[in-house]
Structure formats: structure tokens, C-alpha cells
């Protein structure tokens, strides 16, 4: 029998106030509220570092059914502030599960909130845009929560990269998980790349290794001149710029470093935040979407092949249309026609807004990792 859940209270920046139930950490926390439309993969979503500083409202009403396990971790922990769902299921059923979602959230200090109308919340976010909120299991007074929220920094003002990025360089040597052996694969690799960690997901690293890359992961505060010297010494073939959380425009040091890498004509491949940083490094400012793209069912048209791919998405920002001055637009989102992929003219640089690693999500865009391999082969000729 499930233990009775404690009360929780939520105050949104638009003045809405809700009473709900708590199944995660018992605390008071402030973050940005966004919604995610994925039907599965709540553990991968929750441990995606790109959600740092955010509350995730799941449109899927039943959450917790498959518990949590060791293989579905996308990072070393949870950097999101918490999750919101309609119904939480404490009793789980899955052969890989080791503990409940409730225990998992509590272990990492993240809130879990249920018994709230997530359909109404999602409609509100679609109409008014992503917004800041405060949730608490300790404070029930609306005015007190309002004061806490008003005194808290906005997500655009906080650099979460320092929190989510690795502190030291390391090698990532295993590929995708093989369910037939219940172990990770160890593919042969033939090209070496440097992956700059702005909040990288493990499934991206797995896909890079499976695509034939020898991967060295380095922290966000990289030394551009050192990397340029290593590239000239043929120590590696190219650089990958990872996904990550927050507003890219506040990452001034990272932008300056990427600009130096571009000027050194190093082959670059980027996803999500890395895609946005490439744009900024070349003088094209990003802008914030109304409620962002978060889910595993977003249609993207590949303009090079005219094929439509169903993709995984997790971002609040987009590159501007003016990027077409220096890049060929290769992919577009069919929900709102925003840019999803570019190939920079007269360079060996390409980048994509969506997540081809499918963790969680469809695998239709996974060929992009092979495209990077072809790009590096072209650089050698």
C-alpha cells in the first residue's frame, strides 16, 4: 500500500496558486516551469543536465510505472529542480528497476509533485510561455511564496554550466547499451574527437563512440589556444560542442573560445546549446522561444533529402533566420518552422538543434553522427 503523500504548494509567476501532493524531496525550490510531451523515458529526461534550473511538467499522465535503473542515467545525477505529473505510481514493474522514482528523486534532492492538473498547466504555458515558479512542502502561504519567487534570480541570469560540466578531462570508451548481453558495446574507433562538456548526455557520448569516434571529454572552461596547438599537432581530428542548460548569451568565455576554434578552422559538430553557441560566436544572437521544444515527438524536415524525421527536443532558445547569411539551413522544425540544423559555408562546421542520440526518443536522426565522421574524412583530403 502506498504511503500517504504530503501536501505541496506551488506559486507561478503569473499569480496562479495550487495545492498538490509531494513524492520527492521535501524542500522549497525555485525554477522555470516547462512541459515535456514524451510518452516514455522520464528517468533519461530527469537526468538530462539541459534541464538544470527547471521544473519539468510531464504531459504523460502516469509517471513512475517502470521505476528507475542504472542504465538510463544521462548524467551523474538530477540537475532539474523537480518534476510535475498528474498521477504518480509508487509500485513499479520492470526487470531493470532498482528503486522507485520517489526514492530516486529524494536521493538527488529533487522535488516530485503530483495530483495536479498538468493539462491545465501545459495549456497555460502554451498561452503565456515558460515561466518561473516556486514549489514547497514547507510553506503554504501564497504571499510568502510570492515573495520568495520575486526575490529569486531568473533562470536567464544563472550560469548552470559550471554546475553540470565535468571538473576534469576523461575518456569515454563504451558505445550503446546492448540488451541482448545487458552490457555496453565497445566498438572499434578510428577518429579522435574532443567533446566539450556544457552538460553532455551519456547517450550522446555512447552514440559518438558507436559511430567510430575515440572520445576525450573536457570541461566547459577549455583553453582554446591549447586545443588549437593540439589540433595542429594532429592530436585529434575534430571537436564536438555538447548540449547544456540555460541562456547561451551569458556564456561569454565559452563563446570567445569557440570563436577562436572557428578561426583556427577546426572541424566542429554541435548539438543543442553547442548549436546556439556556434551562432553567437559568429555574431548572430539567439532568441528565446515562447515555451521551448521539449519532447520526443517533434517533426523535423531534412531540407537536403526532403524527408521528415521525428526527433527528440529539449531547448528554450533558437538561432536567428539571419544565420542564412553565413550558413545553409539544412533542417527545420515543422511545428513552428524554426531552424533545426545548419551547415556553415566554406567551413567544416555543422550543427543541429534537435537531439539525434534519442535518449529518450526516436532514432531517425542518429545518422547525423555518421555525417560528422564523413566531415572529418573530408578534412583529411
Catalytic residue numbers read 272, 355, 357
CA–CA separation, 378 vs 366, rounded Å?
A: 20
Neighbours of 265 (CB within 10 A): 14
Do residues 206 and 369 lie in contact, with contact meaning Cβ atoms separated by under 8 Å?
A: no
CA–CA separation, 34 vs 43, rounded Å?
A: 16
Cα 38 from chain centroid?
13
Burial class (CB within 10 angstroms; exposed 0-12, middle 13-18, buried 19+) of 307: exposed
CA–CA separation, 58 vs 248, rounded Å?
A: 25
Look-up: residue for cell 534519442? Answer: 358
Q: If DSSP codes are grouped into helix, strand and coil, which group holds residue 156?
A: helix
CA–CA separation, 49 vs 198, rounded Å?
A: 9
Amino acid at each position: 500500500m502506498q504511503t500517504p503523500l504530503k501536501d505541496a504548494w506551488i506559486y507561478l509567476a503569473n499569480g496562479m496558486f495550487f495545492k498538490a501532493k509531494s513524492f520527492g524531496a521535501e524542500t522549497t525550490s525555485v525554477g522555470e516551469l516547462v512541459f515535456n510531451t514524451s510518452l516514455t523515458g522520464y528517468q533519461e529526461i530527469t537526468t538530462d543536465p539541459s534541464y538544470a534550473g527547471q521544473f519539468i511538467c510531464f504531459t504523460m499522465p502516469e509517471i513512475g510505472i517502470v521505476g528507475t535503473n542504472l542504465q538510463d542515467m544521462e548524467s551523474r545525477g538530477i540537475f532539474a529542480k523537480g518534476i510535475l505529473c498528474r498521477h504518480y505510481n509508487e509500485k513499479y514493474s520492470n526487470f531493470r528497476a532498482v528503486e522507485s522514482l520517489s526514492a530516486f528523486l529524494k536521493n538527488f534532492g529533487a522535488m516530485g509533485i503530483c495530483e495536479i492538473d498538468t493539462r491545465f498547466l501545459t495549456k497555460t504555458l502554451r498561452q503565456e510561455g515558460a515561466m518561473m515558479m516556486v514549489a514547497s512542502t514547507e510553506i503554504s502561504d501564497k504571499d510568502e511564496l510570492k515573495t520568495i519567487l520575486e526575490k529569486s534570480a531568473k533562470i536567464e541570469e544563472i550560469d548552470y554550466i559550471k554546475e553540470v560540466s565535468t571538473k576534469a578531462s576523461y575518456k569515454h570508451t563504451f558505445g550503446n547499451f546492448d540488451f541482448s548481453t545487458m552490457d555496453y558495446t565497445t566498438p572499434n574507433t578510428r577518429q579522435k574527437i574532443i567533446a566539450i562538456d556544457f552538460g553532455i548526455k551519456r547517450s550522446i557520448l555512447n552514440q559518438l563512440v558507436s559511430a567510430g569516434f575515440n572520445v576525450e571529454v573536457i570541461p566547459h572552461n577549455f583553453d582554446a589556444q591549447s586545443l588549437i596547438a593540439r589540433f595542429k599537432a594532429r592530436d585529434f581530428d575534430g571537436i564536438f560542442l555538447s548540449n547544456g542548460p540555460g541562456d547561451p548569451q551569458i556564456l561569454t568565455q565559452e563563446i570567445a573560445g569557440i570563436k577562436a576554434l572557428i578561426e583556427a578552422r577546426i572541424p566542429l559538430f554541435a548539438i543543442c546549446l553547442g548549436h546556439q553557441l556556434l551562432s553567437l560566436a559568429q555574431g548572430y544572437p539567439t532568441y528565446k522561444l515562447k515555451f521551448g521544444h521539449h519532447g520526443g515527438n517533434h517533426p523535423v524536415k531534412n531540407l537536403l533529402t526532403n524527408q521528415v524525421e521525428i526527433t527528440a527536443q529539449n531547448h528554450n532558445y533558437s538561432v536567428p533566420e539571419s544565420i542564412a547569411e553565413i550558413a545553409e539551413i539544412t533542417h527545420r522544425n515543422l511545428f513552428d518552422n524554426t531552424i533545426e540544423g545548419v551547415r556553415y559555408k566554406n567551413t567544416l562546421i555543422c550543427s543541429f538543434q534537435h537531439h539525434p542520440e534519442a535518449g529518450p526518443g526516436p532514432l531517425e536522426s542518429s545518422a547525423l553522427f555518421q555525417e560528422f565522421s564523413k566531415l572529418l574524412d573530408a578534412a583529411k583530403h
